[in-house]
Amino acid sequence: MEAGGFLDSLIYGACVVFTLGMFSAGLSDLRHMRMTRSVDNVQFLPFLTTERVVLLQTATLLGVLLLGYGYFWLLVPNPEARLQQLGLFCSVFTISMYLSPLADLAKVIQTKSTQCLSYPLTIATLLTSASWCLYGFRLRDPYIMVSNFPGIVTSFIRFWLFWKYPQEQDRNYWLLQT
């Protein structure tokens, strides 16, 4: 196996591991919700809940995905054109995924609290987006590089917010210690 092939395989493996880690980073938030029996200060976007508004948003997103599937497989018969358009489509969704935590930016600055941000998710997002950017660079694939770069930028913005507004310790923990 040549050195470039081994390096590509190594980077690709890191991408898969970091992506799995990023999508499982919400488990710490679930544990926190279970321990405190509260969903306060937890981002709702990574989780599907039973609220009507969120279910409507989820159903709308599923509808958009089904329309996209129908468009790409039924209306774009040329495989090369389909691949180019699908790359753009996936890039838009990846960018929106990485930008979604910034929806709470105004709340964080207004309250001067990062309680609604997840530190493990921020670390996982940085590792995932950086590894995919590196992999895209190795493949010279702009769809992979450009769509994952916002994850790096938003992670550093969130790290800055964690530094500027450190998270307070859980009040239940402090009550137990006194």
CA nearest neighbour of 129 among 143, 99, 150, 157: 150
- pLDDT of res. 54: 64
Q: How do residues 85-135 score in pLDDT, each as one tens digit?
A: 888 888 888 888 888 877 878 788 888 888 878 888 889 889 999 999 999
Q: Domain span at residue 19?
A: 3-48+79-177
Residue type, 92: V
pTM as predicted:
0.64
> Is 60 within the bounds of a domain?
no
> Is 170 within the bounds of a domain?
yes
Count structural domains, the chain.
Answer: 1
Report how far residue 154's alpha carbon sits from residue 170's, in angstroms, rounded to the nearest whole number. 25
> Is 120 within the bounds of a domain?
yes
> Is 100 within the bounds of a domain?
yes
Report how far residue 149's alpha carbon sits from residue 68's, in angstroms, rounded to the nearest whole number. 24
What are 22's two structure tokens? 């990023």
> Is 54 within the bounds of a domain?
no
Query: Are 167 and 114 contacting, i.e. CB atoms less than 8 angstroms apart?
Result: yes
Mean pLDDT to the nearest integer, 142-156 = 91
> Is 11 within the bounds of a domain?
yes
Query: Are 44 and 54 contacting, i.e. CB atoms less than 8 angstroms apart?
Result: yes
Query: Are 144 and 133 contacting, i.e. CB atoms less than 8 angstroms apart?
Result: yes
Mean pLDDT, the chain, rounded, equals 79
> Is 68 within the bounds of a domain?
no
pLDDT of 172 higher than 50: no
What are 90's two structure tokens? 């996936």
> Is 71 within the bounds of a domain?
no
